[in-house]
């Protein structure tokens, strides 16, 4: 009887372990940005959105004009002029529904037209919620 109970307990622990470890995973968010002018409003909106995820995410900010930002930009292979790129767990793109969203440039409808991306704050929220398991 004891062996059966112990075996059941072990099976439950082993089966539950992967789910527990996934739930504890923090998403890694890396942001390369230009710290001036028209981007300031977008950066504040991104900061506000990220704050809602608390310890479910770890955020690293890289000012493109700093030494650290230059090294990060080089490491990521970025050679073009881009005001903002956001990576979630190493990827700046995510598929939401039938659409591929890339978190580069200004959100759609904000900032200078040549630098607008195909993403919105709602897209970023959805991608982060999906990654962190937060609904």
72-98 per-position pLDDT tens digit = 999 999 998 889 999 999 999 999 999
Domain span at 77: 25-132
**Does a structural domain hold residue 1?**
no
**Does a structural domain hold residue 111?**
yes
Any idea what DSSP says for residue 97?
T
Q: How many domains does the chain have?
A: 1
Q: For residue 118, is pLDDT > 70?
A: yes
Distances (CA, A) of 15 to 8, 20, 40, 123, 126: 10, 10, 47, 33, 29
pTM for this entry? 0.80
**Does a structural domain hold residue 17?**
no
**Does a structural domain hold residue 6?**
no
**Does a structural domain hold residue 19?**
no
Q: CATH number, domain at 112?
A: 3.40.30.10
The structure tokens 């001036």 sit at: 36
Residues 45 and 52: beta-carbon distance below 8 Å: no
Q: For residue 5, is pLDDT > 70?
A: no
Q: In b/e form, how buried is each residue of 18-35, taking b as 16+ CB within 10 angstroms?
A: eeeeeeeeebebbbbbbe
Q: What percent of the chain has pLDDT over 70?
A: 81
Residues 111 and 38: beta-carbon distance below 8 Å: yes
**Does a structural domain hold residue 11?**
no
Please tell me the distance from the alpha carbon of residue 59 to that of residue 124, in angstroms, as a whole number: 14
């Amino acid at each position: 009887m004891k062996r059966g109970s112990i075996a059941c307990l072990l099976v439950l622990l082993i089966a539950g372990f992967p789910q527990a470890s996934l739930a504890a995973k923090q998403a890694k968010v890396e942001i390369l940005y230009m710290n001036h002018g028209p981007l300031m409003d977008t950066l504040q909106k991104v900061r506000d959105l990220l704050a809602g995820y608390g310890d479910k995410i770890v955020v690293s900010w890289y000012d493109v004009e700093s030494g650290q930002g230059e090294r990060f930009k080089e490491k990521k292979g970025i050679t073009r002029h881009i005001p903002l790129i956001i990576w979630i767990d190493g990827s700046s793109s995510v598929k939401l529904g039938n659409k591929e969203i890339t978190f580069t440039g200004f959100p759609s409808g904000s900032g200078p037209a040549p630098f607008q991306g195909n993403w919105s704050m709602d897209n970023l929220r959805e991608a982060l919620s999906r990654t962190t398991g937060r609904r």
